[in-house]
Structure 1
Amino acid sequence: MAANPSYAQGATDIPLIEQTLGAFFDDMVGKQPDHEALVSRHEGQRFTYRELQAAANRLASALLNTGLQPGDRVGIWSHNNAPWILMQIATAKVGLVLVNINPAYRTSEVEYALNKVGCKLLVTMAQFKTSDYLVMLRELGSKRLPLLQRTVWIDKAGDADQPGMQRFSELLASGDPQDARVAAVGATLEATDPINIQFTSGTTGFPKGATLTHRNILNNGFFVGECMRLSPADRLCIPVPMYHCFGMVLGVLACLTHGSTIVFPNDGFDALSVLETVQAEQCTALHGVPTMFIAELDHPRFAEFDLSTLRTGIMAGTACPIEVMKRVVDRMHLGEITIAYGMTETSPVSCQSAADTPLDKRVATVGKVQPHLEVKIVDPETGATVPRGQSGELCTRGYSVMHGYWDDEPRTREAIDAEHWMHTGDLATMDDEGYVNIVGRIKDLVIRGGENIYPREIEEFLYRHPKVQDVQVVGLPDRKYGEELCAWIIVKPGQTATEDEVRDFCKGQIAHYKVPKYIQFVTAFPMTVTGKIQKFKIRDEMAARLGLQADKTA
């Protein structure tokens, strides 16, 4: 091992939670039954902790009435709403495995996901924007979804009936909040039981079903909340999607483990509704991916809103640009905002900055290893731990590492080695104080004429250009150098820029081989619903446009 190895272990002074999610939630209800637990602005609904518990118990009873048994899989295909939270708590209470279905999925993707894990019941939105979920499910039918026994749709008052499908309001009404079976089943559950399956956004091949336990996500939500110093006085605005760990764990479970209030501004992301909600609900915390914060900061009505109640939150999901972070701290009153790093397979957070992390470290790193976890940085070729300051693959180990990929032992073994280290595929460095910096994805590394170039470094530099709102850098095939850099740039509203302006900005500031050969001005980036930029689509589109042979996969 290196003389000063890139290895760190988190604190262990606060013990891990060894309860199930349902038992822990019930204990929190007992401490503050009348405290506000959930505000869903777009639905006009509010729940105290006691009311949320009663509704979740009623739903758990209703699910048992359908004949479901502990271990059965139940899907939810929806954006953010109160039924989502109720499903999250109710399924956990009776040992059902909640399967999060990406709202962006279309027929073949939802068919694959539901069949892969054998969902017996699905709760779905009726529609959202151009997506008609009920039409897609009818198109699939029982022949293509042979294991699905029941479809429940989230209805609103006055909605017409859907033949062959049950209303969520009817399902909920069929349960008994005092049903003794709920507590009886709960008493048989273990914290190490699988509770949740989340499909990783497969950019190549089929998505993998990361399977997480009570222990995985309950503890991760708790320690994430500790980093933000959450308490019952906090009200967290959650515009990030629930189907992803960001909303479900860093949002909901961070709140429920600290007695805080969950606030949904809308079902899908809308910058204006976030600004309105923070002001109206006096939110103290706000989550988002960088593109969400950019949209809020640059909204034409931004200056109209009083955001002075804000204190903390999380920026995560993709690389967090330093310039954006500075604007968020300065203009949105988020002086204690934290950066979190992780992946679905690690529940998700492995590293996080704290509310008191110095700003220079907060904007330049993803913080330090979380409690009860270990991280190390290894040479991707040899597996040896590299010295501090040297780049390598980040690996993590501890309570947060997933149970495995559902029904996929070979891919589980590829990701988690014999010593239980999860290999992230991310390139990182660790400094002498233990701060971790993500420098890119192994597969995003650009090698131009033998020079290793990290796109993240070029992006951070280009963010300094006064006209650049957002930027993504990828490598494109090149006969002479192997690869050349390509930058996709979104300019700030009301601005125009030229390729020469960008290149002139780079000259004398960064090495010549780091100056992008190709510069494209665009209005948006291809991305997943969670705000993750799909760089492989940028590569493929540019390669096709330029007639190049795309030789890198995502």
Structure 2
Amino acid sequence: MSQTTDADATTEEAAAARAAIAAITGPGGPSEMRTEQVLGAPVAVFVDRHRALHEVLAASVRHGDRPYVVSLEATLTFAEHARRVSSLAQALREEHGVRRGDRVAIAGANTTAWIESFWAVVSIGAVAVGCNAWWSPRELAQALELTTPVLVLADERRREASGSTGVPVLDLEAGHERRCTAHPEAPLPSADVGEDDPCVILFTSGTSGRPKGAVHTHRNLCAVLGFHRHNDVLSATFGDPVAPQDKVYLLAMPLFHIGSLHNLAVPRLAGGGTVALHLGAFDPARVLQLVQQARVTHWGAVPTMANRLLAFERVRDYDTSSLYAFSLASAPSSVAFQERLREHLPFAGALVDSYGLTESCTAVAVATPADLLESPGTLGAPIIGVEMEVRDTFGEPLPAGVEGDICVRSAYNMLGYWDDDAATRAAFDDRRWLRTGDLGTMDEKGRIRLSARRSDLIIRGGENVYPAEVEGVLAEHPSVAECVVLGVPDDDLGQQVAAVVVIREGAATDDLEHALRAHVGCELAHYKVPTQWRITDEPLPRNATGKVRRPAVSVVS
């Protein structure tokens, strides 16, 4: 009599899983895929999909009095949200003349008003411009100059900086509340927009200085909805007992990021789940109180947040039993760090990691707990709908294990950079493959491993800092002859920003570090201001072409 071995059982389980996934993504399945021409290139798309975001808002009404956004202070139901957004959309159209294609900037900290404003803007066919709430007045002015919005919606802290640009500014407090209730009988907003029309602009730091505006379309965000719906179907198929409508997702990262906006606030409106919105700066006690009170089930955190949870001695004082999905995103994390999370946080047992970028709207690869167990440090395989290749300098695909440029193509990829044709051409080839600018290798199972992020990029607490931008501001100071900005390791933030400054001959050096800090702080967001300095009169090391040899620069005197 034959006996079934563990290996046989594992093989059978894997075959059954592949068959189940094939049925889900195949003809007639809930995540059926087909190839269509998108912007002149063959791209995999979901067959069953929304074509515009106003359709998503209209469909959300069916969720009625279920909670859409909850915080420690208040609850907003789906029905209330739809009524308030409809009133706000009518006010924007009738009182402020906002039309299809107009840009409307949102400059504020995370609030329910931010989310309502986003939905009102995109549902009338306008383009929501998500401004980094940590920007300096200079950076905000640059973004508004680039995108030329007809209106800025700003909270009190950003209102003065927004108004200095000459663009009309509306408040996100009392005035917002009036606009959300002024037209109680307003119909649900809609607009005659195409799938590839812009709906959102989010910013990514520029390698040469000013931030670039990544343009995301209705197709992009509706594709992200398909990805999240697919995840819900997979979860249910493989034993997740919690229905999508009963899942509660913690939102503790800024709404001007794809992680919070595209992959949390937007999918929850479509799927009927709940957003647990943390207000204010990250505070472990208040965040855990929200997890306990809202019965949070899912949390995607940047490594800095996770690190601060490790340092918080009272984690087990809170009831986190509802939280069964904890993931890392937005910044690299080490294998050792992931192990510490599993050991010390009661909800980090089934840890997930991912890889994505602003230009791709969502993750391009996800590492499951099984992936991380089998191949520590991997970022997983491409998500549904993503084609991924590792290429050589000539654009040719490389075999498994060979390092090269990571390139991706999908319906998630941005349209391009706003008003920057040169940067858009540099980002895409003629078949709509996006050059991520990152280096990596792919294993035999199609899983990606990152070896270097974009050239010289510093990731501080989940926020990207491009040295060229900081160097450009430093170079404006009269005492600076030349400078270089580098990332240095930091246990809490992942990396800190460091600067090596060569002073001009005859420049005063008394308290120069303080003066340079203040100079950069006036022009750039606080997280871009160097915290480590080396001030010297020795020239920077350069190669034969005159470029600074960054590996040869030391921040230590």
Q: Give 3-state SS (helix, strand or coil) of 1:34's partner.
A: coil
Are residues 1:385 and 2:397 paired?
yes
Task: Give the corresponding residue for 1:237.
Answer: 250
Are residues 1:179 and 2:186 paired?
yes
TM-score of the superposition, structure 2-length normalised?
0.72
Gaps of 5+ in 1: 1-9, 128-132, 157-166, 446-454, 457-471, 475-482, 493-525
Are residues 1:424 and 2:436 paired?
yes
- 2:433 & 2:297 partners in 1: Cα distance? 36
490 and 90 in structure 1: CA distance in 2 versus 1, 3 angstrom threshold: same
- 1:547 & 1:56 partners in 2: Cα distance? 59
Task: Give the corresponding residue for 1:195.
Answer: 199
Task: Give the corresponding residue for 2:517.
Answer: none
Task: Give the corresponding residue for 1:450.
Answer: none
Deviations 1:149-168 (A, max 9, x none): x2111226xxxxxxxxxx22
Task: Give the corresponding residue for 2:76.
Answer: 47
- 2:331 & 2:304 partners in 1: Cα distance? 9
Deviation at 1:215, TM superposition (A): 1.4
TM-score of the superposition, structure 1-length normalised?
0.73
Q: Give 3-state SS (helix, strand or coil) of 1:300's partner.
A: coil
Please say if residues 391 and 428 of structure 1, whose CA atoms lie closer than 8 Å, have aligned partners that are also in contact: yes
Match of 2:414 among 396, 402, 407: 402
Q: Give 3-state SS (helix, strand or coil) of 1:190's partner.
A: coil
Task: Give the corresponding residue for 2:35.
Answer: none
Task: Give the corresponding residue for 1:170.
Answer: 178
Q: Give 3-state SS (helix, strand or coil) of 2:323's partner.
A: coil
533 and 394 in structure 1: CA distance in 2 versus 1, 3 angstrom threshold: farther
Q: Give 3-state SS (helix, strand or coil) of 2:275's partner.
A: strand
Please say if residues 241 and 268 of structure 1, whose CA atoms lie closer than 8 Å, have aligned partners that are also in contact: no
Task: Give the corresponding residue for 2:52.
Answer: 20
- 1:99 & 1:20 partners in 2: Cα distance? 17
Match of 1:205 among 184, 192, 209: 209
Please say if residues 236 and 284 of structure 1, whose CA atoms lie closer than 8 Å, have aligned partners that are also in contact: yes
- 1:224 & 1:326 partners in 2: Cα distance? 27
255 and 173 in structure 1: CA distance in 2 versus 1, 3 angstrom threshold: closer
Q: Counterpart of 1:189 in structure 2: which amino acid? A: V
Task: Give the corresponding residue for 2:506.
Answer: none
- 2:390 & 2:527 partners in 1: Cα distance? 24
218 and 552 in structure 1: CA distance in 2 versus 1, 3 angstrom threshold: farther
491 and 395 in structure 1: CA distance in 2 versus 1, 3 angstrom threshold: closer
252 and 486 in structure 1: CA distance in 2 versus 1, 3 angstrom threshold: closer
Are residues 1:280 and 2:284 paired?
no
Task: Give the corresponding residue for 1:153.
Answer: 171
Deviations 1:41-70 (A, max 9, x none): 2xx221121111111111111111121111
User: Which of 1 and 2 has higher RCO (CA within 8 Å, sep 6+)?
Assistant: 1
- 1:233 & 1:117 partners in 2: Cα distance? 38
Are residues 1:334 and 2:363 paired?
no
122 and 47 in structure 1: CA distance in 2 versus 1, 3 angstrom threshold: same
Task: Give the corresponding residue for 1:516.
Answer: none
Q: Counterpart of 1:27 in structure 2: which amino acid? A: A
Deviation at 1:315, TM superposition (A): 1.0
Q: How does 1:248-327 map to 2 (within 5 A)?
A: 248-327=261-340
Task: Give the corresponding residue for 1:110.
Answer: 140
Q: Counterpart of 1:549 in structure 2: which amino acid? A: L
Deviation at 1:39, TM superposition (A): 0.5
Please say if residues 272 and 296 of structure 1, whose CA atoms lie closer than 8 Å, have aligned partners that are also in contact: no
- 1:222 & 1:85 partners in 2: Cα distance? 20
339 and 489 in structure 1: CA distance in 2 versus 1, 3 angstrom threshold: closer
Deviation at 1:279, TM superposition (A): 1.3
Please say if residues 202 and 208 of structure 1, whose CA atoms lie closer than 8 Å, have aligned partners that are also in contact: yes
Match of 2:123 among 72, 93, 106: 93
Deviation at 1:254, TM superposition (A): 3.1
Deviation at 1:121, TM superposition (A): 0.8
Task: Give the corresponding residue for 2:86.
Answer: 57
Q: Give 3-state SS (helix, strand or coil) of 2:260's partner.
A: helix
Please say if residues 57 and 123 of structure 2, whose CA atoms lie closer than 8 Å, have aligned partners that are also in contact: no
Q: How does 1:214-225 map to 2 (within 5 A)?
A: 214-224=218-228
Q: Counterpart of 1:33 in structure 2: which amino acid? A: G
Are residues 1:37 and 2:68 paired?
yes
Deviation at 1:439, TM superposition (A): 1.5
- 1:360 & 1:120 partners in 2: Cα distance? 51
Please say if residues 236 and 263 of structure 1, whose CA atoms lie closer than 8 Å, have aligned partners that are also in contact: yes
- 1:532 & 1:223 partners in 2: Cα distance? 34
Match of 2:453 among 420, 441, 450: 441
Tell me how many residue pairs correspond in the alignment: 441
* Cα RMSD after superposing both structures: 3.2
Deviation at 1:398, TM superposition (A): 1.5
Q: Give 3-state SS (helix, strand or coil) of 1:90's partner.
A: helix
Deviations 1:463-482 (A, max 9, x none): xxxxxxxxx9x9xxxxxxxx
Q: How does 1:71-82 map to 2 (within 5 A)?
A: 71-82=101-112
Deviations 1:4-41 (A, max 9, x none): xxxxxx985414224212212322332x2122111032
Greater displacement, 407-416 / 32-41: 32-41
444 and 118 in structure 1: CA distance in 2 versus 1, 3 angstrom threshold: closer
Deviation at 1:114, TM superposition (A): 0.9
Deviation at 1:135, TM superposition (A): 3.2
Q: Counterpart of 1:92 in structure 2: which amino acid? A: V
- 1:322 & 1:548 partners in 2: Cα distance? 38
196 and 244 in structure 1: CA distance in 2 versus 1, 3 angstrom threshold: same
The 4+ residue runs of structure 1 with deviation greater than 6 A are 531-534
Greater displacement, 209-218 / 304-313: 304-313
Task: Give the corresponding residue for 2:540.
Answer: 549
- 2:87 & 2:317 partners in 1: Cα distance? 42
Gaps of 5+ in 2: 1-20, 33-45, 236-242, 460-464, 468-483, 494-519, 542-547, 552-557
Q: Give 3-state SS (helix, strand or coil) of 1:58's partner.
A: helix
- 1:327 & 1:254 partners in 2: Cα distance? 30
Deviations 1:318-369 (A, max 9, x none): 1022233233344231334422211111113211134x64442575211111
Task: Give the corresponding residue for 1:521.
Answer: none
Task: Give the corresponding residue for 1:368.
Answer: 381
- 2:200 & 2:119 partners in 1: Cα distance? 11
Q: Counterpart of 1:195 in structure 2: which amino acid? A: C
- 1:82 & 1:308 partners in 2: Cα distance? 26
Please say if residues 38 and 261 of structure 1, whose CA atoms lie closer than 8 Å, have aligned partners that are also in contact: yes
